[in-house]
Structure 1
Amino acid sequence: MRRPPRTRLLLWHATAALPVLGAAAAFYGPALARTGGVWPAPLDDVYIHFGFARAAALGHPLSWIPGNGYSSGGTSLIYPLALAPGYLLGFRGAWLGLFAALLACAALLDLCGSLRRLLEPRGPGAATARWVAWAAPLFVVAVPLLDWSWFSGMEVALLGAVLGRALVAVRRAELAPPSRRPAEQRRAGLFAALLVATRPEAVALAAPLAVAVAHAAGSLSAAAALARASLPTALLLGAQAAANRAFTGEWGAAGAVRKLVLSSPYPTPLEKAVEVLKNLTALRVQALEAALGGPSFALILPLLGLVAALDRRARRLAVPLLIGAYGSLLLVALNTTARYQNLRYAAPALAMLLVAAALGTEALARRGRLAAGVAAALALAALAAPSAWFARQIDHFARASANIAGQQVEVARRLGARAPRPRRVLLGDAGAIPYLSGIPALDGLGLGGYRGMPFARASVHGVPAVVELIERLDAAERPDVFALYPSWWGGLADVFGRRVDAVKIEDNVMCAADEKVIYEADWSALAPPGERREGALDAVDIADLVDERAHRYAFSTPRGGWVVGAVLRDDGGAPRFDAGRLIPEGREQSFAAGVAARGPAVLALRTDGGGPIALGVAVGRPAEDEVRVEVPERPADHWSEIRVPLREVAPGDLVRIRALQGTFRSFHVWLLRP
């Protein structure tokens, strides 16, 4: 890959900077006017990255907040590390967004430079295709929906830069002489791994790029080339999974646990498939059609990508790009939030399609003057068609930034000004509030991580399961204020909080609700940590995921085991919270007994009020040996207990409780001395 003359290269860089910096100014200018001078961030998730970056700068990498411990909730492993130098250089508070904007512009210019290297024509037809390299920056900024994400402060622009570098590395591995080819293959593998470290769904591109490197091995071993190109990604994914397992008990990252459609235990496979299809439809119609100028114009980009895939020089890059684009869309369709946040999850796919189209334009232009004219017409149509959306996307960017500044940033300001200063704030996946206020936080949705506790998994099961984990914390550790959307946190905000303030915004286009409420916490209905019932041989706190995991607790799925919570009177008349699960008629729950020795016991089951039901109880024996227990109607104002004598229970025995008649509301289980 030969270097062009220095003068032409400088001129190219100057012309490339115009569309990139012009697009940046077009988005940031109106947004700054709407936010009143706060650096614009159209997504609160931007501040989550800022929190990870600050923690890394302070010597706590892979933590959202120093003191909270390891977090697997960051969607990008390397983006916070790229932001951390900005924090150290003095870009503090919301002004870290300015550093992120400078980084985004630099990343996009780097992507343009990589495209220039890939599009510089070689050999026959070079004269008719030289203009394509000069048009490369237009491919980068032509789609307003993608520009929204480029300049949002998220990791997308960095992904673009890594994408360009990875493609250049694959091309170098293809063209390198045999003596240099193994080193270039390893280099390509490292950049492929960086792609995945920037955005996890980029694995859909990293894998076919490794295959492309192996396909270009030439006289060298294809298997060895594939190993060199794929091993860094495999090691990265393996190390990440091992760290997740060691520090959180989950192989997957918190974002996957919390957001993937497959994580919920309640829906049927058909219901999950329908949700994925809804996401795919929205992504196709809104991101791959409307955002590209409509169904007819939207076909041009994949058509040009197909031209590149058929071209001998371009196919080793174009085929992986097309597979990566559509493969990444399939992966993000598994995300329950794929249709929201201005379709930001589709941004990597759009970037890959645009690069593939640029390669196709160059491949077609090399075919002669007539083909070059066709290529120019197609490229012009593809790049001009989305332009009708610029005004709408710029306006949406400004309004969304005003939403975040008016709500999340304002809540942070108010909390930071409270006296006495709050000890810890409970929130739901909110980045600006802890980052700007400096108050330690507990993320109830689990993406922030907290000392290895399974908050992400609990939030999938239901709000009462989150409360069960808070009950495990020492009283001094529990959050003393909440900053929550009431509609998201029914059973927590209204039960354990007292409303003291609220921030309401108008013209909401981005926040989950127009009002975020500040509460003072009252955890008096929770049990003291470590509380133990006298005479208990073993106990299972249902819907406490830590306790359930320790007892290998299981419930019938799907359409069963829903988590519920209640505050009722205990035997002493005091209000006491407990969470439990609904076991529908014909379904069962089971757990492994944790008794110390074999012997008789009494099974005690806590439930709430309701009509008559019947249960079947069996211990380590076939279902036909189960004992039927008739349970009469119970009062609704206090906890009730069902007692079942068991002849013998041994350590590890499976205790099975089946709902024979009616739905059993199971909240707590004890094995007591007889």
Structure 2
Amino acid sequence: MRRPPRTRLLLWHATAALPVLGAAAAFYGPALARTGGVWPAPLDDVYIHFGFARAAALGHPLSWIPGNGYSSGGTSLLYPLALAPGYLLGFRGAWLGLFAALLACAALLDLCSSLRRLLEPRGPGASTARWVAWVAPLFVVAVPLLDWSWFSGMEVALLGAVLGRALVAVRRAELAPPSRRPAEQRRAGLLAALLVATRPEAVALAAPLAVAVAHAAGSLSAAAALARASLPTALLLAAQAAANRAFTGEWGAAGAVRKLVLSNPYPTPLEKAVEVLKNLTALKVQALEAALGGPSIALILPLLGLLAALDRRARRLAVPLLIGAYGSLLLVALNATARYQNLRYAAPALAMLLVAAALGTEALARRGRLAAGAAAALALAALAAPSAWFARQIDHFARASANIAGQHVEVARRLGARARQHRAPRRVLLGDAGAIPYLSGIPAIDGLGLGGYRGMPFARASVHGVPAVVELIERLDAAERPDVFALYPSWWGGLADVFGRRVDAVKIEDNVMCAADEKVIYEADWSALAPPGERREGALDEVDIADLVDERARRYAFSAPRGGWVVGAVLRDDGGAPRFDAGRLIPEGREQSFVTGVAARGPAVLALRTDGGGPIALGVAVGRPAGDEVRVEVPERPADRWSEIRVPLREVAPGELVRIRSLQGTFRSFHVWLLRP
């Protein structure tokens, strides 16, 4: 890959900077006017990255907030590390967004430079295709929907830079002499791993790139080439999974646990498949058709990519790009939030598709003057068609940035002022809101679990239901529990309204991005929670239902799907005091089970806490295989207090399975004890 003359290279860089910097100004200018001078961020997730970057700069990598411990909830492993130098250089508060903007522009220029190197023609047909490298920057900024993500402050622009360098590395591995080829293969493998470290769904591109490197091994071993190109990604994924398991008890990252459709235990497989199909349809219609100019003209980009895949020189890059683009969309469709946040999850696929189309344009232009004219016409049509969306995307970027500044940034400001005027809040409970703790400086617990908190399964609990989140808070020492909430009331029914007292609220108009137009600040009252570590006198064993830590320890299971829904209530205990407990609904004909942790074999009494309701019947069996099932008739219970069902068990041994089946009606199961008889 020979370098062009220095003068031509400088001129190319100057012309490349014009569309990139022009697009940046077009998005940032109106947004700054809307935010009143706060650096624009159209997504609150930007501030989550800023939080991870600040923690890394302060010596706490892989933590959202120093002191919270390891978090697997960062969307990108690499991006916060790229932002951390900005924090150290003095870009603090919202102004870290300016550093992110400079980084985005530099990353896009780097992508343009990589495209130039890939598109510089060589051999026959070079003269008719030389112009393609000069229009490469237009492929980068031509799609307004993608530009929205490029300049959003998220990791997409960095992904673009790593994508370009990975493709160049694969091309170098293909063209290098045998003596240099192993080193270039390793370089390609490392850059493919960095792709995955930047966005996890980029694994759909990293894998076919490794195959392309092996295919280009030539006289060297294809198996060894495949190992060099794929091992870094495999090691990265294995190390990440091992760290997740060691620090959180989950193999998957918190984002996967919280957001993937497959993580929800309640829907049936058919219902999950329907949700995935809805996501795929939305991504196809909105990102791959409408955003590219309409269903017909949107076909030009994949057509150009297909031409690259048929070209002998370009196919080792084009085929992985096409597989990566559509493969990443399939992975993204598993994300329950794929249709929201201006389709930002489709941005990597659009980037891959545009690069493949650029390669196809160059491949066609090499076929002679007539083919070069056709290539120019196709490229012009493909790049011009999306331009009708520029005004709308720029306006949406500005309005979304105003939403984040007007709600999340304002809540952070009010909490900070509250801390200065009164006793500073010790900890705020929020739901996946990055700006609030980052800008206020107040420690936080993310109730949705993406921020991570000392290895506790908040992400999994938030999927099961809000009362399961409260059960985890109940495990914390009283001085560690959040004393302030900043929540959307509609998202947190059973928590905000039960344990909070409304003291302030921030409401925005023209909401296009926030989950609701009003975010409410509450003061917390946890007096209905049990003291941490509370034990019942005479208890041989217990399972606090819907407390996922307790359930995991006792290998608790419930019939799913369509069963085990989490519910919560505050009712009077035997002493007349209000007491919270969470539980699960076990429908008629379904069951729950757990493995005992008693110290020795012997008789016991099974005590089951439930709430009020009409008559029900339960079946209780002990042992593996289950022994005779005992039928228990449960009469109607009062609605204002906790009730207890007692079942004598002749013998229970350590590690035995106890099954509780609902024979009549729905059993509302909140707590299980094995007591001394």
Query: Would the TM-score normalized by the shorter structure come out above 0.5?
Result: yes
SS in 2 for 1:257: helix
TM-score, L = length of structure 2? 0.99
Shift of 1:326: 0.1
Provide the rounded CA distance (Å) in 2 between the counterparts of 1:218 and 1:315: 16
* Structure 1 residue 161 displacement after superposition: 0.1
1:131 matched residue in structure 2? 131
Cα deviation 1:44-74 (Å, max 9, x = unaligned): 0000000000000000000000000000000
Task: For 1:290 and 1:433, locate their aligned partners in 2 and report how far apart those are by CA, in whole Å.
Answer: 35
| Equivalent residue pairs, number | 672
Shift of 1:279: 0.2
| CA–CA separation in structure 2 for the residues paired with 1:340 and 1:644 | 49
Residues of 1 paired with 2:404 and 2:66: CA distance?
A: 24
Q: Report the more deviating stretch, 614-623 or 105-114.
A: 614-623
Which residue among 475, 480, 496 is the counterpart of 2:478?
475
- 8 Å Cα contact 2:613-2:638 kept in structure 1: yes
The answer for unaligned runs of 5 or more in structure 2 is 420-424
Residue deviations 1:85-129, cap 9 Å, x none? 000000000000000000000000000000000000000000000
2 CA distance for matches of 1:621 and 1:158?
54
Which string of whole-angstrom CA distances, capped at 9 and with x for unpartnered residues, describes residues 637-671 of structure 1? 00000000000000000000000000000000000
- Secondary structure in 2 matching 1:628: strand
Give the CA deviation at 1:388: 0.0
In structure 2, distance between residues paired with 1:621 and 1:358: 63
* Preserved contact between residue 208 and residue 320 of structure 2 (Cα < 8 Å): yes
Q: Among residues 449, 455, 459, which one is paired with 1:446 in the alignment?
A: 449
* Percent identity over paired residues: 97
Preserved CA contact (<8 Å) 2:208 2:323: yes
Aligned-partner Cα distance in 1 for 2:566–2:521: 25
User: How big is the shift at 1:623?
Assistant: 4.9
Equivalent residues of 2:185, 2:229 under 8 A apart: yes
Distance 2:601 2:33 in 1: 72
Distance 1:173 1:147 in 2: 31
Give per-residue Cα distances to partners, 1:111-157, cap 9 Å, x unaligned. 00000000000000000000000000000000000000000000000
Residue 594 (1) aligns with residue 610 (2): no
The CA distance in 1 between the partners of 2:623 and 2:415, in whole Å, is 53
Aligned equivalents of 1:355 and 1:508: distance in 2?
34
1:16, 1:502 → 2: CA distance?
46
Contact preservation (8 Å) 2:585, 2:669:
yes
Distance 1:81 1:445 in 2: 23
| C-alpha RMSD of the superposition | 0.5
The Cα of 1:246 is off from its aligned counterpart by 0.2
SS at match of 2:638: coil
User: CA–CA distance in 1 between the matches of 2:537 and 2:560?
Assistant: 33
Q: Tell me the CA shift for residue 506 of structure 1.
A: 0.1
The answer to whether the Cα contact below 8 Å between 2:41 and 2:404 also exists between their aligned partners in 1 is yes
1:186 alignment partner, SS class: helix
CA distance, structure 2, for counterparts of residue 530 and residue 247 of structure 1: 22
- CA spacing shift, 1:621–1:104, aligned 2, 3 Å: closer
Is the CA contact 2:568–2:582 (under 8 Å) kept in the aligned structure 1?
Answer: yes
Whole-Å Cα distance in 2 between the matches of residues 74 and 611 of structure 1?
A: 46
* Separation (CA, whole Å) in 2 of partners of 1:42 and 1:512: 13
* Separation in 2, partners of 1:135, 1:609: 71
Q: Return the offset for 1:624.
A: 6.4
Structure 1 residue 622: Cα displacement: 4.3
Which position in structure 2 is the counterpart of 1:97?
97
CA distance in 1, matches of 2:466, 2:13: 53
Distance (whole Å) between structure 1 residues aligned to residue 436 and residue 351 of structure 2? 31
Deviation digits for residues 387-428 of structure 1 (CA, Å, limit 9, x no counterpart): 000000000000000000000000000001114xx1100000
User: Aligned partners of 2:324, 2:660: CA distance in 1, in Å?
Assistant: 47
**CA–CA distance in structure 2, aligned partners of residues 589 and 577 of structure 1:** 21
The structural deviation recorded for 1:545 is 0.2
Helix, strand or coil at the partner of 1:417: helix
Paired residue for 2:295? 295
* Structure 1 Cα separation of the partners of residues 34 and 276 of structure 2: 35
Determine the C-alpha separation between the residues in 2 that align with 1:538 and 1:591: 11
Cα drift, residue 625 of structure 1: 0.8
* Map of 1:513 onto structure 2: 516
Would the alpha carbon gap of residues 599 and 624 (structure 1) be closer, same or farther in structure 2, given more than 3 Å must change? closer
The C-alpha deviation readout for 1:463-509, integer Å capped at 9, x for no partner, is 00000000000000000000000000000000000000000000000
- Superposed, 1:449-528 pairs within 5 Å as 449-528=452-531
SS in 1 for 2:639: coil
- CA distance in 2 between partners of 1:427 and 1:232 (Å): 36
Task: Tell me, in whole angstroms, the C-alpha distance in 2 between the residues paired with 1:648 and 1:252.
Answer: 39
Q: Which residue of 2 aligns with 1:73?
A: 73
Note if contact 2:612-2:640 (Cα within 8 Å) is conserved in structure 1. yes
State the distance in 2 between where 1:604 and 1:624 align: 19
Hey, what's the Cα distance between the residues in 2 that align with 1:296 and 1:128?
28
Question: Helix, strand or coil for the counterpart of 1:625?
Answer: coil
In the aligned structure 1, how far is the partner of 2:247 from the partner of 2:538? 34
Deviation at 1:551, TM superposition (A): 0.1
Tell me the distance in 2 between the aligned counterparts of 1:519 and 1:450. Answer: 21
- Between the aligned partners of 1:14 and 1:448, the Cα distance in structure 2 is 41
Distance (Å, rounded) in 1 between the aligned partners of 2:552 and 2:406: 41
Give, in whole Å, the separation in 2 of the partners of 1:418 and 1:574.
32
Residue 425 of structure 1 aligns with which residue?
A: 428
1:327 to partner: Cα distance: 0.1
Paired with 1:308 and 1:621, the residues of 2 have a C-alpha distance of 61
The SS at the match of 1:343 is helix
Structure 1 residue 547 displacement after superposition:
0.2
Partner of 1:151 in structure 2? 151
Task: Measure, in 1, the Cα distance between the counterparts of 2:542 and 2:354.
Answer: 58
State the alpha-carbon separation in 2 of the partners of residues 403 and 348 from structure 1: 25
Q: Distance in 1 between matches of 2:340 and 2:278?
A: 12
SS in 2 for 1:623: coil
SS in 1 for 2:478: coil
Aligned partners of 2:233, 2:596: CA distance in 1, in Å? 42
Report the equivalent of 1:368.
368
Shift of 1:35: 0.1
The secondary structure found in structure 2 opposite 1:589 is strand
Displacement, 1:34? 0.1
Shifted more, 616-625 versus 602-611: the winner is 616-625
Shift of 1:621: 4.9
1-side partners of 2:43 and 2:317: how far apart?
32
Q: Distance in 1 between matches of 2:258 and 2:63?
A: 18
Q: Is the 8 A contact 2:624 2:656 kept in 1?
A: no
Q: Distance in 1 between matches of 2:308 and 2:551?
A: 54
Distance in 2 between residues matched to 1:660 and 1:357, nearest whole Å:
61
Q: In structure 2, what is the Cα distance between the partners aligned to 1:480 and 1:222?
A: 60
C-alpha separation between the residues in 2 aligned to 1:554 and 1:225?
Answer: 45
- Give the Cα separation in 1 of the matches to 2:82 and 2:640: 55
What is aligned with 2:141?
141
> Equivalent residue of 1:131, what SS?
helix
Cα displacement (A) at 1:214: 0.1
Counterpart-to-counterpart distance in 2, 1:507 and 1:383: 31
Per-residue deviation, 1:289: 0.1
Q: Does 2:331 correspond to 1:326? A: no
Secondary structure of the residue aligned to 2:599 is coil
* Distance (Å, rounded) in 1 between the aligned partners of 2:91 and 2:199: 24
Question: How much has 1:600 moved relative to structure 2?
Answer: 0.1
- The answer for unaligned runs of 5 or more in structure 1 is none
SS where residue 55 of structure 1 aligns? helix
- The Cα of 1:369 is off from its aligned counterpart by 0.2
SS in 2 for 1:476: helix
> Residue by residue, what CA displacement relative to the aligned partner does 1:234-257 show, whole Å, maximum 9, x if unpaired?
000000000000000000000000
Residue pairs, 1:141-180, within 5 angstroms: 141-180=141-180
Q: Deviations along 1:544-592, whole A, 9 cap, x unmatched?
A: 0000000000000100000000000000000000000000000000000
In structure 1, what is the equivalent of residue 642 of structure 2?
Answer: 639
CA contact (8 A) 2:413 2:440 kept: yes
**Structure 2: distance between partners of 1:209 and 1:75:** 22
Per-residue displacement from partner, 1:285-332 (whole Å, max 9, x unpaired)?
000000000001100000000000000000000000000000000000
